[in-house]
Amino acid sequence: MEKYGGKALIILCDVAYADQVEAAAEQTEKEFGPIDVWVNNVSNSVFAPFKEITAEEFKRTLYFSVFLFSFCYYSLNCPPANRY
């Protein structure tokens, strides 16, 4: 990317933890300024027939599908005092 004039920032982040999402957003803004576009590319799946999925597996999949999107959204759109 840098060869073509771009700039990249690599951040290790587990989006299952809101504090890590917040830290990633803050680090990105320190490096590049305000974030204009944030792409969420998070998923979790259980490869098994539905009848074989445990309650915990179902809960984690639902958590990834619904709540992790919210962590990223609020990190970018809410004043720090109002987050989480």
Place 55 in a pLDDT band, splitting at 50, 70 and 90: very high
Each residue's pLDDT tens digit, 5-43: 988 888 888 777 778 888 888 898 899 988 877 776 666
What is the domain range of residue 14? 2-82
Q: What local confidence, expressed as pLDDT, does residue 83 receive?
A: 47
- 57 vs 65, which has greater pLDDT? 57
Question: Number of folded domains in the chain?
Answer: 1
Q: What percent of the chain has pLDDT over 90?
A: 12
The domain that contains 69 carries what CATH number?
A: 3.40.50.720
Residue 29 Cα distances to 16, 21, 50, 57, 60, angstroms: 21, 12, 41, 34, 30
